[in-house]
Amino acid sequence: MNQTICPRISFDFTGRFLPPVYILVFIIGLVANGWGLKTLLHNWRKLRIINVLVLNLGLADVLYLFTLPFLVVYDFMKSKWIFGETFCKITRFCFNVNLYGSIGFLTCLSVYRYLAIVHPVKVMGRLTFTRSVMISVIVWLLVSVQCLPDMFFPKAYRNNTEKCFDTTDKDHVEDYLKYTVGWTLTGFCIPLLITLGCYGHMAVVLWTWKRTDNVLKQRSLKLMFILILLFSVCYIPYHVCRNLNLWSRVLTKQGICRKWYNGVYIARQISRGLASLNSALNPLVYLHAHEDIPAQIRQQLQQVRLTLTNRFVSNPSRRPSAPNEDEL
């Protein structure tokens, strides 16, 4: 067993890095998701299965965004939680539900696109509104079941200050590591493999079928790129760094020191910020999952441009004019 002194962990990095990220995510995410949900609700009668999934994706984002102000206060106060352990667990639960709910609904969107493009005849008439609602309920239930055990791990302790751990305390870190490894496999790895399988096969089909509509091909490939971006930036680093950081804590508890502990901790905090970005990046799915939204954006911009042009033309008083005698 290595008895060397463990390297100093830069705990103050969290307070400097996460609050600006959370504030940025809160502002952008609230505006983008609010606009996206408003657009979807405005076209409620036109909703199909993919729109229902996108609607639930937006609801998961909003659920998490409303917890960010409390996390900003927590990090600004140098990791002092003043809202009680119960609300601490609720806040962490909302983050986990958002994270794995987003992964679940993005996976469902991938499967839907795959079936609609590769097997359109087989699924014709089977992808109904009612079934889409049932799929959404199942996703919420599965995600809640996966996240619920996290609520039973201690999230705070009193030692002159109150903490609100995003994982758990030192006494239960071994059990939490076992739980989170299984959680990673079921909540992330399996959906990732399903998504990669769907879009991998779909990409081959789109490029080999000459009869495929070019507009459909471009939209599907753009959506594939967005989903790959979300998984690569928001989800993969988070799960890798979370498990590595928990492992380093277990080793530290056993008296084993390694030089990479501080680097893993910093990477873990950066990955937490990247994971929160999914609430701001998910609205990109609105642009390509819903066929009407890009056209609506172009139409609205054109209307604004025409309105400004008409006002300028119809209101000559706004144009510069020579001063009259009273103004001289």
Sequential DSSP letters for 29-80:
HHHHHHHHHHHHHHTGGG--HHHHHHHHHHHHHHHHHTTHHHHHHHHHTTS-
- Phi and psi at residue 158, to the nearest 5°: -105, 125
In whole angstroms, what is the distance from residue 279 CA to residue 56 CA?
Answer: 12
User: What is the structure's pLDDT at 203?
Assistant: 81
Q: Please indicate, yes or no, if residue 7 is contained in any of the structural domains.
A: no
User: What is the structure's pLDDT at 127?
Assistant: 76
Helix 85-118 × helix 129-147 angle, to 10°: 140
User: What is the structure's pLDDT at 306?
Assistant: 67
- Lookup: tokens for 294: 């890009």
Q: Please indicate, yes or no, if residue 191 is contained in any of the structural domains.
A: yes
In whole angstroms, what is the distance from residue 71 CA to residue 217 CA?
Answer: 41
Q: Please indicate, yes or no, if residue 66 is contained in any of the structural domains.
A: yes
User: What is the structure's pLDDT at 283?
Assistant: 83
Could you give the 3-state DSSP secondary structure of residue 158?
strand
Q: Please indicate, yes or no, if residue 279 is contained in any of the structural domains.
A: yes
CATH code, domain with 113: 1.20.1070.10
Q: Please indicate, yes or no, if residue 116 is contained in any of the structural domains.
A: yes
Task: Region of 15 please: left (phi>0), alpha (psi -120 to 50) or beta.
Answer: alpha
* Among the listed residues 106, 110, 98, the one whose alpha carbon sits nearest the alpha carbon of residue 29: 98
Q: Please indicate, yes or no, if residue 92 is contained in any of the structural domains.
A: yes
User: What is the structure's pLDDT at 241?
Assistant: 96
Write out the residue range of the structural domain in which residue 164 sits.
Answer: 12-294
How many C-beta neighbours within 10 Å does residue 256 have? 15
User: What is the structure's pLDDT at 325?
Assistant: 35
- Lookup: tokens for 309: 């042009």
Task: List C-alpha distances in Å: 24 to 58, 96, 193.
Answer: 17, 19, 31
Contact of 206 with 221, CB cutoff 8 Å: yes
As beta bridge partners, residue 162 has 158
Contact of 14 with 75, CB cutoff 8 Å: yes
User: What is the structure's pLDDT at 327?
Assistant: 33
DSSP assignment, residue 151? Answer: G
Domain count, the chain: 1
User: What is the structure's pLDDT at 303?
Assistant: 58
In whole angstroms, what is the distance from residue 155 CA to residue 115 CA?
Answer: 42
- Those residues with Cβ within 8 angstroms of residue 118's Cβ, 6 or more apart along the chain or in another chain: 201, 202, 205
User: What is the structure's pLDDT at 126?
Assistant: 75
Contact of 82 with 75, CB cutoff 8 Å: no
- Phi and psi at residue 162, to the nearest 5°: -105, 140
Q: Please indicate, yes or no, if residue 308 is contained in any of the structural domains.
A: no
- List, for residues 167-208, the tens digit of each pLDDT value: 998 889 999 999 999 999 999 999 999 999 998 888 888 777
As beta bridge partners, residue 158 has 162
Q: Give the residue ranges of the chain where pLDDT is below 50.
A: 1-3, 160, 292-298, 300-301, 318-328
Contact of 255 with 3, CB cutoff 8 Å: yes
Distinct helix (H) and strand (E) counts, the chain:
14, 0
In whole angstroms, what is the distance from residue 127 CA to residue 138 CA?
Answer: 15
